[in-house]
Structure 1
Amino acid sequence: MNDDSSIQRLAAILRSEVARLGPGDRLPASRELVARHGVSPVTVSRALAVLAAEGRVVTRPGSGTFVASAPPARTGDTADLSWQTVSLGDRVIDDSGVAALLARPSDGVIPLTGGYLHPNLIPVKALAAAAGRAVRRASTWLHPPLSGLSGLRRWFATEVGGDVTSSDVLVVAGGQAALTHCFRALAAPGQPVLVETPTYPGALAAAKAAGLRPVAVPIDHEGVRPDLLAETFAVTGARVFYCQPTLHNPTGATVPRERREQVLAVARAAGAFVIEDDYARHLALGPMPPPMITLDGHGSVVYIHSLTKITSPSVRVAGLVARGPAAHRLRAAQLVESFFVARPLQETALEFLDSPAWRRHLAAVAAELATRRDALAGALARHLPDGDLHLLPQGGVHLWVRLPRDVDEAALVETARQRGVLVSPGRIYYPSEPPGPRIRVTHIAATHLPELSEGVRRLAAALADQQVAKTS
């Protein structure tokens, strides 16, 4: 029951329900609508999209669907856009996981989710000064080299180390764009791509949008298991493996050097590429193992190093490192999709990286990360003793918490939101069925340490609410 007629029937039912509600009232959750009306999640999504196009409802990622403030009266002049559901077909680009992570919290709500520095930690003055110096140069407004500014490519190559040279680097519009280029360039639609499980939701969304099939490879406290990686390559015939070996999102695991070499050996044997997403190298609290690409003499690794997490969400600049035919294809992919990264942004990034402010910023962020990580871990131990911390990572901005098996993860996240704290549900980090209830909490988005503690206290109260509801 997911054809156009069923969508229109459900939309008609929901119109009647909206008419009985007041502006701002919340509609039942999608899961409840699926059960109540015996339809598929796709049918519910498309019916709600019809009502949104009519201006009757608004959807807030992570919160739900609400009656619009002023639902318009249906007139003969209102365009009927329902035909689009037929023309667009069944392919869905699911942005729910990413949108929830990027959504801004409402006033009074404490964010224990998200992955960017709090505005107080963003080096706005230094970035503004760098931008000012950059835009005053006439050359900033000229056509940039297609692969990126030579100075910026050289900076990325030096940061990576090993035998990586500036000619191996392609400057792209941030880590997410790099993932999109990689998935589209290295695999064909319909093919499998191996991913750690759990893994970054943005990678899952990008892979699926490219028409790929993410396949889970289990990890432990030291990252992906090489034995299971080899087995999964053999079973699936996949030729691409996506991973975050340094301060893995969401668990915080870091793969030791010996295991990195084992992963590379497995990939070489399978004739496969390894997409190494090194998003958090500048968020480490101490020495980290070398990037896998510096251990790779076979051309297996395609390496991503983004500036966004350590600087600002708006510094959409990353270095994408590859060699051989893969490098040519990645350059071609960027060229046909977006030409190049805007030169003023590249010039600004290079100005900042070459200034003393860059090193001062790194030192300040490292000190803050250590303080915040310990504060969040301490608050979890005090207020949420039933939560099992996966590990205490040596950097990064997240903690991964396993909940008691009888906890309803989705209900807990919603109750926490109602109590004024946002956390990330574990299910969005899995390409297939989750092994049990999990949440990811972050310490970098809160304003200060007391707010962190208060956020965990609210989370614990939400868990207590759920436990009381079960016993009553």
Structure 2
Amino acid sequence: MNNDSSIAQIAAILREEAARLGPGSRLPSSREIMRRHNVSPVTVSRALGLLAAEGRVVTKPGAGSFVTQQQVTTGQDAADLSWQTVALGDRVVDDGPVASLLASIPEGVVPLTGGYLHPGLRPDKQLAAAAARAVRRPDAWDKPPLAGLLELRRWFAAQAGGDVTAADALIVSGGQAALTHAFRALAAPGTPVLVETPTYPGALAAAKAAGLRATAVPMDRDGVRPELLAEAFAVTGARVFFCQSTLHNPTGATLPVERREQVLQVARAAGAFVIEDDYARYLTEHAPPSLASMDQHGSVVHLGSLTKILSPSMRVAAVIARGPAAHRLRAGQLVESFFVARPLQETALEFVGSPAWRRHLTTVHAELRTRRDALAAALAARLPEAELHLLPIGGMHLWVRLPADVEENDLAEAARRNRVLVSPGRMYYPSEPPGPRIRVTHIAATHLAELQEGVRRLAQALAEAR
């Protein structure tokens, strides 16, 4: 008989044996099957592969093949996909923290969490008008330059400052994509990457997905501590440091200019890259010069984005880099996703080149100040035992230290029962946290009255959690 029929016959025999043995049982070894039926190792392997594809068995290297737990729905066997666990291996992409920050807010719940402007603050009409102008261009649906539209790259370069040019900029699909590209391009799987502690959960998730080991570097109210950064480089041998230099998420810290220079000196001495996530540059009127504008050695890979200041769906960002790192970043984007859709790039360029851009910045900056102050005052009045880390120069968040006897997850759950959402601090740490913290956000609420109501509910939740 031919090989295909041999495989089918052995598969039928093993199918019957699996049914007889029952879930969890171990099938005879491949060697035993070969001996019983006088077939080749390839035939046995392919027969077991058929059963695995049917969800009837799962093969564990070094242990053997085992009968799976069959599920029955509507009178038919449903596929058991547990075999995929073995095929996929041990690497896990943890989307939990990011998914929680992006989750939709139920009706009647006050959001003291989130990372985007409330819809009432977004320039939706102006963006729609910019999009209408953009798509009327004759080449709007043509393939863009692979690195991005020249004028858009020139605009991002000017925002970064210093002697950055359009040739240094690469347009990518939002800040998270920029971060993922940077981690993959700059660090090999299995190597360490230094991060501020606490830090943005999306950075921790992206680093883990890239196979990197996040190592914490402590901060104070002025941001990362340069002397401890130097020590971390020396101890770990890391060649990448992830840094949010302005309005750090979650603490709100902004590196002073002097400390920015120290960070660059430390990175230069270590022969390392600094990934500067400048996500919040447009969320304050007082942003210091970017690290990229101060960099003379190609140490900084700068990430700038329009998403936070405009809309969650304005997935347009720039990665700014020089030298071989820039080439690797461009190559990575090309093989992974080609380019960012031209109509979206054209829309972004239309908007930032219009008077609506400056008017929007003025409106948002005023609203951010008002909401920040209102939230800080409400916390001081209703949760006096909680300590504000600092009053940031802008941004969307406040970082709050809770009394030592409060379990932050219990507080978050009590808050949820009281129909208010906050972000537990644990997700922001790459290692053990120093104590209970929460991040509270003022920008997602509809108005100041809802913000006040959210803090009232949070105070009630704190009383229940103690």
Q: TM-score range by the shorter chain?
A: 0.7 to 0.9
Count how many residue pairs are aligned between Structure 1 and Structure 2. 401
**Deviations along 1:190-228, whole A, 9 cap, x unmatched?**
000000000000000000000000000000000000000
Question: 1:141 is paired with a residue of what secondary structure?
Answer: coil
Question: 2:298 is paired with a residue of what secondary structure?
Answer: coil
Instruction: Using the TM superposition, give the Cα deviation of residue 74 of structure 1 relative to its aligned residue in structure 2, in angstroms.
Output: 6.4
- Name 2:85's counterpart in structure 1: 85
- Name 1:412's counterpart in structure 2: 411
- Name 2:333's counterpart in structure 1: 334
- Name 1:35's counterpart in structure 2: none
- Name 2:444's counterpart in structure 1: 445
Distance 1:195 1:75 in 2: 53
**Deviations along 1:413-446, whole A, 9 cap, x unmatched?**
0110011000001000000111110000000000
The correspondence of residues 10-409 of structure 1 with structure 2, limited to 5 A, is: 73=73, 75-284=75-284, 286-409=285-408
**Deviations along 1:278-317, whole A, 9 cap, x unmatched?**
0001001x32220011111011000001000000000000
In structure 1, the gaps of 5 or more residues are 1-7, 10-49, 55-71, 468-472
In structure 2, the gaps of 5 or more residues are 1-22, 25-67
Question: 1:138 is paired with a residue of what secondary structure?
Answer: coil
Distance 2:213 2:80 in 1: 34
Distance 1:354 1:77 in 2: 59
Paired amino acid for 2:115? G
Distance 1:202 1:242 in 2: 12
Distance 1:73 1:336 in 2: 41
Instruction: Using the TM superposition, give the Cα deviation of residue 73 of structure 1 relative to its aligned residue in structure 2, in angstroms.
Output: 4.9
Distance 2:382 2:274 in 1: 40
- Name 1:14's counterpart in structure 2: none
Distance 1:93 1:315 in 2: 25
Check the 8 A contact 2:199/2:429 in 1, yes or no: yes
Paired amino acid for 1:264? L
- Name 2:426's counterpart in structure 1: 427
Distance 2:283 2:383 in 1: 26
> Which has the greater radius of gyration?
2
Instruction: Using the TM superposition, give the Cα deviation of residue 159 of structure 1 relative to its aligned residue in structure 2, in angstroms.
Output: 1.3
Paired amino acid for 1:384? L
Question: 2:250 is paired with a residue of what secondary structure?
Answer: coil
Distance 2:124 2:347 in 1: 12
Distance 2:77 2:450 in 1: 50
Distance 2:74 2:113 in 1: 39
- Name 1:456's counterpart in structure 2: 455
Distance 1:432 1:317 in 2: 31
Paired amino acid for 2:84? Q
Question: 2:274 is paired with a residue of what secondary structure?
Answer: strand
Distance 1:161 1:431 in 2: 31
Paired amino acid for 1:185? A
Question: 1:139 is paired with a residue of what secondary structure?
Answer: coil
CA-based RMSD:
1.6
Question: 2:76 is paired with a residue of what secondary structure?
Answer: coil
Taking structure 1 as reference, are residues 142 and 455 closer, same or farther at Cα in structure 2, changes over 3 Å only?
Answer: same
Question: 1:215 is paired with a residue of what secondary structure?
Answer: strand
Instruction: Using the TM superposition, give the Cα deviation of residue 86 of structure 1 relative to its aligned residue in structure 2, in angstroms.
Output: 2.1
Distance 1:208 1:116 in 2: 24
Distance 2:215 2:441 in 1: 26
**Deviations along 1:310-368, whole A, 9 cap, x unmatched?**
00000000111000010000000100110000000000000111111111100000010
